[in-house]
Structure 1
Amino acid sequence: MKEITVNFNPNLKPWLAPEPNNVAGKGVIEQPGQTENFIWQTRKAEPTQYENDFGDALETVFDAGALELDEVVEGLNRIGFRTPEGTPWNAGRLAAEFHRLAE
């Protein structure tokens, strides 16, 4: 079977300009409860265990107050979460990992 690549979600409804209204759901792109939410609509594949663990580690570091890249690097190293190669993080390696995961 031939794989089809789509660079957008063809099932999204067209954007509607918001109009002031106090009724819930009015003036939004999608009406609550009326649009199917595709779980993997923005991913190439299901996250790996490493990607899930990386997300959990980032949450821990951000919860501890990290805001800057160097603080995130320090936090990941402090909690013992290593690169996929098993080495400590540095700013360049973390930036490269973010770029890789954002593709």
Structure 2
Amino acid sequence: MRVAMRYNLYLAETGDAKGGGRFIEEPDQVDNFVFQTRGGPLDPFEQALSQALTAAFDAGAFEFPELVAALNAGGSRAPDGAAWTEPTLDAELDRLGQALFQPVSGGIAA
């Protein structure tokens, strides 16, 4: 005769027949936040900015004034062609960030 072994005494012998309703959400009843999803590839400006920011971080710039200085020193320019300032970089990063967190109600994001 074979004896069944219980490896975890705190687990129930059998699971529930259906999932717990506490954590399961109905797709039509919650906002679906699209996270880090874009509608298409980066445009040339966004690609250049991402490369310039990566180079600035690699060079050790982590504080906002350091990032602005590193972007300007590396030749990166704001969308209007002017040198970066803290307010213009803040506004551009905010604009780009808003595109990543668009709520989609009542459906699955494409």
Q: Secondary structure at the match of 1:82?
A: coil
User: 1:39-78, aligned counterparts within 5 Å?
Assistant: 42-78=37-73
Structure-2 residue corresponding to 1:34: none
Where has structure 1 moved over 3 Å in runs of 4 or more?
Answer: 6-9
Aligned residues between the structures: 68
Q: RCO higher in 1 or 2 (8 Å CA, sep ≥ 6)?
A: 2
1:7 deviates by 3.5
> Which residue identity lines up with residue 56 of structure 1 in the other structure?
Q
Amino acid at match of 1:87: A
Structure 2 portions without partners, runs of 5+? 1-30, 99-110
State the TM-score, normalized to the length of structure 2.
Answer: 0.56
- 1:8 CA drift (Å): 4.0
Q: Which runs of 5+ in 1 are unaligned?
A: 1-5, 10-40
CA positional deviation for 1:84: 1.2
The 5 A counterparts of 1:27-46 are 42-46=37-41
Q: Quote how far apart the aligned CAs of 1:95 are.
A: 0.5
Question: Cα deviation per residue 1:30-76 (whole Å; 9 max; x = unaligned)?
Answer: xxxxxxxxxxx711332101101110000111100001100000000
- Secondary structure at the aligned position of 1:66 is classed as coil
